[in-house]
C-alpha cells in the first residue's frame, strides 16, 4: 500500500485524507493549523507538526500530495518537497495551480528524479470526502502505478488521465471557466424570475428545473437548497470573489485568438460585484447629466 502524505489539511485536504483512510490507505499529514491534530488522528491519520518532521519520517516510494492555495505558496512548497524527496517518489499538486506553473514545477521535480502530477480536483468538499472528479497530468507509465489511488478517490468514471504535466490543470482551468458561465446563467435567470410579475416559489422553480429538464444539474440542486433556506437571500452580500481560473481561461482565449464571450462576461460580472467604489459608473452617470441633463443620484 502506498505511503500517502498530505500537505495542507484544510477543507479539501482533510476530506481527501478521510476518503483515503476509508479506502484502507495509511495517511499522514501536515498543516500549519495544529488545531486539527486531534480530529485527524481520531479518524486514523497521523499528524506531523512540521514539514521537516513529515519528510524525515517518510518511507521510500512515497506519494506527497499538496492541497494548498495556488501560486507562490504551492510553488515554494514544490521546491522544498523535491529537495527532500527520493528519486522515484511521486509529488502530486491537487490544488488549482495555473497550468504554466505546473509545467515549471514538473521540470523542478524531473531534475531531482521525482515524478510530478498535476491533478485538477472538482466536486467540492463533499466530492473530496465521498468521491471526487480528477483530471490528471504526468508521466503515463508512472500513472499506471498509481491508478488505484484515483479509483479509490473518485466516483465511477470520475478520473481522466489527460497527458503530460500541465494538462491536468489546463483542463481544470477550462472546467472552472465553464463553471463561471453556468453559475452566471443561473444567477441571471433567477434574478429575472425574482423581479418578474409572478410570485413564484423560487425553491420550487429550482426543483422542477432540476427534475427532467434540459438544465438539470448539481448546481441547480444547490440552487434549490439555498432558496429553501432563504428565498430572498437577505443575509447574503452580492459579492462574488474570483479565485483565478476564470481569468486564466480568458487569457488563454486571447492567446489563442478564440471567442469565449459567456465565460468572459461571467468573469467581468465577478469583478463588477467587488467594486464597491463604482467609480466608472459615477463617471457615466455624471456624463449623462452633463450632456443630457439626466438626474444624478446622490448619496
Got the DSSP string for 74-119?
HHHHHHHHHHHSPTT-EEEE-S---HHHHHHHHHHHHHTT-EEEEE
- Any domain includes 282: no
- The alpha carbon dihedral of 15, 18, 20, 23 has a sign of negative
- For residue 193, the number of C-alpha atoms closer than 13 Å in the C-beta half-sphere is 18
Regarding whether 191 and 124 lie in a shared domain, the answer is: no
Together in a domain, 140 and 182: no
CATH for 212: 1.10.1040.10
The three cell numbers locating residue 255: 492567446
Residue 141 lies in a domain: yes
Based on the fold, state whether residues 184 and 223 are members of the same structural domain: yes
- Which of 110, 133, 163 marks a domain boundary? 163
The answer to whether 118 touches 168, Cβ cutoff 8 Å, is yes
The answer to the question of residue 281 being in a domain is no
19-45 residue pLDDT tens? 999 999 999 999 999 999 999 999 999
How far, in Å, CA of 195 to CA of 232, rounded? 11
Tell whether 79 and 214 lie within a shared domain.
no
CA 163 to chain centroid:
20
What pLDDT shows up at residue 172? 97
Q: Is residue 71 packed enough to be buried (19+ CB in 10 Å), middle (13-18) or exposed (0-12)?
A: middle
Report CA-CA distances (Å) from 8 to 12, 143, 152. 8, 23, 20
Q: Is residue 16 domain-shared with residue 147, that is, in the same domain? A: yes
pLDDT of residue 298: 83
Q: Where a domain ends, among 163, 182, 215?
A: 163
**Residues 178, 95 within the same domain:** no
Q: Which pLDDT band, with edges at 50, 70 and 90, does 226 fall under?
A: very high
Which three cell numbers, joined as nine digits, stand for 284?
Answer: 457615466
- Are the beta carbons of 220 and 210 closer than 8 angstroms? yes
Query: Is 0.75 surpassed by the pTM of this model?
Result: yes
Task: Let me know whether 134 and 260 are in one domain.
Answer: no
Torsion of CA 123, 134, 59, 68, to 10 degrees: -60
In sequence order, the 6+-apart residues with CB closer than 8 A to the CB of 236 are 230
CATH number for the domain that contains residue 92:
3.40.50.720
User: d(Cα 138, Cα 141) in Å, to the nearest integer?
Assistant: 9
Q: Say yes or no: 46 and 155 in one domain.
A: yes
In-domain check, residue 286: no
Note whether 128 and 250 are same-domain residues: no
Would you please indicate which residues are annotated as catalytic (active-site) residues? Answer: 172, 179
Picking from 163, 186, 203, the residue at the C-terminal end of a domain is: 163
28 within some domain: yes
- List CB contacts of 277: < 8 A, sequence separation 6 or more: none
Residue 61 has pLDDT above 90, yes or no: no
**Is residue 298 in a domain?**
no
Tell me, yes or no, whether 74 and 196 share the same domain: no
> Are residue 71 and residue 178 in the same domain, yes or no?
no
Residues 209, 187 share a domain: yes
Residue 258 lies in a domain: yes
Q: Give how far the C-alpha of residue 208 lies from the chain's centroid of Cα atoms, to the nearest Å.
A: 28
For 20, the domain range is: 3-163
Q: Is 166:102 a contact under the CB 8 Å cutoff?
A: yes
* Count of the separate structural domains present in the chain: 2
pLDDT of 58 reads 77
For the stretch 85-142, pLDDT in tens is 999 999 999 999 999 999 999 999 999 999 999 999 999 999 999 999 999 999 999 9
Amino acid at each position: 500500500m502506498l505511503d500517502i502524505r498530505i500537505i495542507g489539511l484544510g477543507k479539501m485536504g482533510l476530506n481527501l485524507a478521510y476518503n483515503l483512510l476509508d479506502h484502507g490507505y495509511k495517511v499522514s499529514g501536515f498543516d500549519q493549523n495544529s488545531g486539527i491534530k486531534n480530529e485527524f488522528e481520531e479518524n486514523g491519520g497521523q499528524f506531523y507538526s512540521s514539514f521537516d518532521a513529515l519528510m524525515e519520517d517518510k518511507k521510500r516510494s512515497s506519494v506527497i500530495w499538496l492541497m494548498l492555495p495556488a501560486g507562490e505558496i504551492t510553488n515554494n512548497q514544490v521546491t522544498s518537497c523535491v529537495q527532500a524527496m527520493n528519486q522515484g517518489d511521486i509529488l502530486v499538486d491537487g490544488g488549482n495551480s495555473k497550468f504554466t506553473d505546473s509545467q515549471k514545477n514538473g521540470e523542478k521535480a524531473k531534475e531531482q528524479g521525482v515524478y510530478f502530477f498535476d491533478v485538477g480536483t472538482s466536486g467540492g468538499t463533499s466530492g473530496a470526502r465521498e468521491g471526487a472528479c480528477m483530471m490528471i497530468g504526468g508521466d503515463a507509465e508512472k500513472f499506471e502505478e498509481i491508478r488505484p489511488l484515483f479509483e479509490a478517490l473518485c466516483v465511477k468514471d470520475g478520473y481522466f488521465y489527460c497527458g503530460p504535466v500541465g494538462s491536468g490543470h489546463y483542463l481544470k482551468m477550462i472546467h472552472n471557466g465553464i463553471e463561471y458561465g453556468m453559475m452566471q446563467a443561473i444567477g441571471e435567470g433567477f434574478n429575472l424570475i425574482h423581479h418578474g410579475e409572478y410570485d413564484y416559489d423560487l425553491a420550487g422553480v429550482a426543483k422542477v428545473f432540476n427534475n427532467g429538464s434540459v438544465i438539470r444539474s448539481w448546481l441547480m440542486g444547490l440552487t434549490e437548497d439555498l432558496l429553501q433556506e432563504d428565498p430572498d437571500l437577505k443575509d447574503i452580500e452580492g459579492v462574488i470573489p474570483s479565485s483565478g481560473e476564470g481569468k486564466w481561461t480568458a487569457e488563454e482565449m486571447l492567446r489563442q485568438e478564440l471567442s469565449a464571450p459567456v465565460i468572459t462576461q461571467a468573469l467581468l460580472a465577478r469583478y463588477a460585484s467587488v467594486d464597491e467604489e463604482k467609480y466608472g459608473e459615477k463617471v457615466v452617470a455624471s456624463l449623462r447629466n452633463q450632456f443630457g441633463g439626466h438626474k444624478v443620484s446622490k448619496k
